[in-house]
Amino acid sequence: MSNDYYPHPWLAREGWFFLTIAVAAAILSTILACFYGVFAWLAGLCWLATLFVFQFFRDPKRTIPTQENAVLCPADGRVIKVETTQDPYLQREALKISVFMNVFNVHSNRMPVDGVVRCVWYDAGRFFNAALDKASLENERNALHIVTKNGVDITCVQIAGLIARRILCYVKSGDEVIRGQRYGFIRFGSRVDIYLPPSARARVALGEKVRATETVLAELP
């Protein structure tokens, strides 16, 4: 099923400013290089930076699986944690699945399920490497408590990393959300943690590469 809920272009709006600056710098340095050959190396670097910005802020459409009990992946990246642990927000035992995003992954975050946002928690935190275990509890993070239409509680946490310095979240408590909906963005390397009921069955393994929306992380009972 195609995602019709997609109000954004292929390039994420969060990147428009950065791309404009990068392109302007690349054009200016190229003009200078035409008159002063010594600036050729600078022009090359500026165009490489422009390509990096463009690939970092890409935000392509995704196909949404139709499986009703599926929990969809909220981010592109690599699975770094699949374990039973304590949900620090709802204070319950939970199945935790963590996805690490490097600077070459798509950083737009999508909703894993249909439901209602019951609560939002934000913590300024610190900026450890997002791949470390302590990042889940100590880094800057934004957590959502989502309740599905069947009454299942899910916690979805955006976590900033060593380089990431900006978490953006566009939903608030009381909002109705749909699977695959674009709800946030994390700039320059980060992580997303999902806490599910312990009865949920993981559909991914450690080290597996995953794609936001299109990869099924787990199945709810």
Distance CA 194, CA 210 (A): 14
SS3 75: coil
| Number of CB atoms found within 10 A of residue 143's CB | 21
The distance between the two most distant Cα atoms of the chain, rounded to a whole number of Å, is 67
Q: Which of 2, 173, 190, 199 is catalytic?
A: 190
Buried b (16+ CB within 10 A) or exposed e, 145-182: bbebeeebbbbbbbbbbbebeebbbebeeebebebbbb
- Clarify whether 190 is annotated catalytic: yes
Nearby residues of 97 by Cβ (< 8 Å), 6 or more positions away? 79, 81, 82, 193, 194, 196, 202, 204, 217, 218
Rg (Cα) of the chain, in Å, rounded? 19
Question: Which residue is listed with tokens 């642990």?
Answer: 85
Helices 40-56, 16-35: inter-axial angle, 10-degree rounding? 160
Distance CA 150, CA 114 (A): 10
First to last CA, the chain: 22
Q: What residues are labeled active site?
A: 190
